[in-house]
A and B are shown apart, each in its own frame.
Chain A
Amino acid sequence: MPTPTYTPLATVTLGSAASSVTFSSIPATYRDLVLICNWQNSGSGSASRLQINGNTGANYFGVWMTGNGTSAISGSETSQTSARIAGAAVGPANTYSNIAILQFIDYSATDKHKTVLSRYGSTATETQATASRYASTSAITSIRFFDILGQTFQTGSTFNLYGIAS
């Protein structure tokens, strides 16, 4: 029998500016996770990143491609302390001009490294697709979304975490 899924697990709507958003105590009862983010940065020079299970070791790898309206480029990272989700993004003031959808595939598996597929878009700067790998076979129990360059997510920014059934 089909299993209804895409279950809302948690929603964060910022009542004040925050430097990061963390989802913790994620149950291992789903197959995949989907994180949908709609946020405004505090200023220029932002770079949104991801950490898993509080792991700040050099365990993150990624490859991305970005189009900024002028050119399309691709980049990669190895052995980083976080995974890239969005590059420099600003957005007009008081506009939630950043949106990202992150797919955590097989997040609760304990025999695989964790892969994250993400799509990001900013009305101000770029559209981007990224494939990231967290080099650990541990199940994902927490996700931290933050800005590595010191910017903050503004009031009203929303972050929604969903579980996809196995």
Chain B
Amino acid sequence: MLIPFGILSAAGAAGVAGTYELISTTILGSTTSTVSFTTSSLGTDYKHIQIRAVLQQQIDFGGTYGGNIQLRMNGDTGNNYAFHYLRGDGSNVASAAESSVGRILINRLPYANPRNDKYGSLVVDVLDFASTTKNKTIRSLSGVPFAGDDASWVTLTSGLWNSTALMTSISLTAGAYSGFYAGSRFSLYGIRG
């Protein structure tokens, strides 16, 4: 479950430190292939981070659906990731896994050409992102029901970055021959612990 920690103690008042805090928001003004957040300075204040996004992906130039969302940490493109996903498409439930690969894959969200008003949503949790004794784990919930030119699905994903390094950045890339449309929004939240 995507339960933030200490929600009942969130102050909500400006200037008063809370348990769950908005760090930054990026709203795309044009089609963008990668959105990144810098997290190198957040470890002294936060235990975990969460990305909340609403987005739409541009269809690739060849008209082929190939672009699942690629999540990476610290710009690492080495084969240091593993993930599982569980996905329902309205008819079937599918599951798959990869290990020793160059990214965590999150199932693509709606493709559209041209851009329209139907977006998909994504929530990603990264636990203990600043730990230097643990490999980094993520979990996500995402989905798109009958939007865009692509199929519908709801997906649960868990992922591993096999590194104990401090997570200094996290990025989401739209995938091969794709981009996130203008209007897509990505927000980073910090959770104190």
**Hey, which bits of chain A sit against chain B, CB under 8 A?**
2-8, 31-32, 36, 61-67, 72-76, 78, 99, 101, 103, 105-106, 109, 111-113, 115-117, 119, 121, 129-133, 135, 137, 162, 164-166
Contact = CB atoms under 8 A, between A and B. Distances in A.
Given A74-B89, A115-B120, A5 B18 contact: yes
Given A113-B119, A164-B52, A132 B3 contact: no
B121 A103 contact: yes
A21 B47 CA distance: 34
- Nearest 5 CB-CB pairings of A with B: A131-B143, A65-B88, A4-B18, A76-B90, A74-B88
B12 A117 contact: no
Q: Which of A101, A115, A130 has the most CB of B within 10 A?
A: A115
Contact of B14 (A3, A162, A164): A3
A73 B89 CA distance: 10
Contacts of B67: none
A76 B187 contact: no
Contacts of B153: 63, 131
B180 interface: no
A120 B184 CA distance: 27
16 contacts: A4-B13, A6-B4, A7-B12, A62-B145, A63-B89, A72-B93, A74-B90, A76-B90, A101-B1, A111-B117, A113-B118, A115-B145, A119-B141, A131-B120, A133-B144, A164-B52
Given A106-B54, A115-B120, A4 B11 contact: yes
Contacts of A117: 121, 123, 141-143, 154
Interface string B92-115: 110000000000000000000000
A133 B189 CA distance: 24
A6 B10 contact: yes
B169 interface: no
A101 B152 CA distance: 21
Interface stretch (B19-27, B29-37, B69-77, B158-166): B19-27
A69 to B, nearest CB: 14
A112 B13 CA distance: 28
